[in-house]
Amino acid sequence: GIIGGIIYLINKKEYVGTYKAIIIAILVQMYHMGITLILAKPYSLALETVETVILPMTIGNALGIGIFSLVIGGLIQDKKKIKQLEEDLEIVTAKDQQLI
């Protein structure tokens, strides 16, 4: 969450897009696995666990972030379309009022 917030601020409070979100999710997952290897004892058991879970966990997280990001991207596009339609309607309404 903190990393996502930092990236949002770095990206000037703009949506990063699906591709970047997936890449960030993969990098964060690698970071988590690295922390696990550093902190867990015994190291051999931690390494075995990381080797077992890293691929399915990374794929699962990347897919989840990808799907979520696509939904958010769609909502942002829809919001922009609605705003444009409202502006177009205001222009048409203003033109109609001038003709009366």
For residue 56, cis peptide bond before it (omega within 30 degrees of 0): no
Calculate the average pLDDT of the chain.
Answer: 91
Contact by Cβ (8 Å): 16, 24:
yes
pLDDT digits (tens, 9 = 90+) for 64-92: 999 999 999 999 999 999 999 998 888 88
pLDDT tens column, 4-24:
888 889 988 888 899 999 999
Domain count, the chain: 1
Amino acid identity for residue 36 in this structure: T
By percentage, how much of the chain surpasses pLDDT 70? 98
Q: Give yes or no for a contact between 58 and 30, defined as CB atoms under 8 angstroms apart.
A: yes
pLDDT of residue 94: 81
What domain range is 47 assigned to? 2-99
Question: In the prediction, which pLDDT does 100 show?
Answer: 62
